[in-house]
Amino acid sequence: MAEQNTGLNVVKHLVAVASGKGGVGKSTTTANLALATAAKGYKVGVLDADIYGPSQGLMLGVPAGSHPETLDEKWFIPLLSHGVKVMSMAFLVDDNAPMVWRGPMAAGALQQMLLQTHWGELDYLFIDMPPGTGDIQLTLSQKAKLTGALVVTTPQDLALLDARKGIEMFAKVQVPVLGIVENMSTHVCSNCGHEEAIFGAHGGAKLAQQYGTELLASLPLSLTIREHADAGNPSVVAEPQGPAALAYGALAEAMLDAINGAAGQAAPSISIE
């Protein structure tokens, strides 16, 4: 449980969803994973920690121009969409305003959204991380007691190279990696049904084996997943019994099992050098 006197005081588990590079579908995975976890009866929130390129508001169908209310001139009240609490930098600035900030300013904004959002009671708060291993990642590791991290990658060698850096970064700050999510693992042609591993095969499994963690899911490259996300109605709620929703549901189950398995281990102390 997080420290008292912050908005995290009754949040049970904080799960970072990270990637070494952009473009691997991390934000789409975060949104659908959060909704799949909520569908199992848990209280869920999503923090969009990608300060420079926030996308959770769009993906979760928050109307453009929405802004959080405040409480006691100290707390942000997160917005609610599809039964999930959401907070994002996109709710605090104009949609088209670029965040021309140096790293410490972005890290300060993350700290404010993380600790000064009145999350209330949550079982799981998913944190959609920006790509890379910089100020945002270090700030999160210092300011919050993370239950663990999921690392999203594609099977492509270039993505796996950067995913390794993400795993090594979490090891340095003593945050357990709950598992690997291999996104865009195969593509099924919508016309002929032919399935092809266009980004390579088995990369996520090899990465998980190399670092002694689990491959929690292999998710498809799907036109409908993209269309649902762009429409603010992710696959888990758009087609609850569809193949994509079932895949995200299985990912949620695997994540919950990984968290329960990690619960028996000693909690790490955070040390940044």
Fold exhibited by the domain 11-262: Rossmann fold (3.40.50)
Determine the angle formed by the axes of helices 223-230 and 243-262, rounding to 10 degrees. 80
- Residue 257, pLDDT > 80, answer yes
Tens-place pLDDT, residues 151-180: 999 998 888 888 999 999 999 989 999 999
Share of the chain above pLDDT 70, in %: 93
Tens-place pLDDT, residues 20-76: 778 899 999 999 999 999 999 999 999 999 988 899 999 999 999 999 999 998 999
pLDDT mean across residues, the chain: 89
Instruction: Average the pLDDT over 105-115 and give the result.
Output: 90
Nearest residue to 16 (alpha-carbon basis) of 171, 235, 176, 230: 176
Q: In this predicted structure, what is the pLDDT of residue 263?
A: 63
Kindly give, in sequence order, each residue whose CB lies less than 8 Å from that of residue 265, ignoring residues fewer than 6 positions away: 176
Tens-place pLDDT, residues 216-250: 999 999 999 999 999 999 999 999 999 999 999 99
- Residue 260 φ/ψ, nearest 5 degrees: -65, -35
- Residue 182, pLDDT > 80, answer yes
Q: H/E/C letters for each residue in the chain? A: CCCCCCCCCCEEEEEEEECCCCCCCHHHHHHHHHHHHHHCCCCEEEEECCCCCCCHHHHCCCCCCCCCEEECCCEEECEEECCEEEEEHHHCCCCCCCCCCCHHHHHHHHHHHHHCECCCCEEEEEEECCCCCCHHHHHHHHHCCCCEEEEEECCCHHHHHHHHHHHHHHHHCCCCEEEEEECCCCEECCCCCCEECCCCCCHHHHHHHHCCCCEEEECCECHHHHHHHHCCCCHHHHCCCCHHHHHHHHHHHHHHHHHHHHCCCCCCCCCCC
- Looking at this protein, which amino acid is placed at residue 244? A
Q: Which residue in the block uniquely carries the two structure tokens 């695997």?
A: 254
Q: In this predicted structure, what is the pLDDT of residue 249?
A: 97
Alpha helices, DSSP H only, in 154-202?
Answer: 157-172
**Between 252 and 21, where is the model more confident?**
252
pLDDT band for position 191 (cuts 50, 70, 90): confident
The torsion region of residue 108 among left (phi > 0), alpha (psi -120 to 50) and beta comes to: alpha
- Residue 1, pLDDT > 70, answer no
- Looking at this protein, which amino acid is placed at residue 80? L
Share of the chain above pLDDT 90, in %: 62
Determine the angle formed by the axes of helices 203-210 and 157-172, rounding to 10 degrees. 30
Helix (H) or strand (E) holding 47: strand 44-48
What's the chain's Rg over C-alpha atoms? 18
Q: In this predicted structure, what is the pLDDT of residue 198?
A: 79
Q: In this predicted structure, what is the pLDDT of residue 5?
A: 62
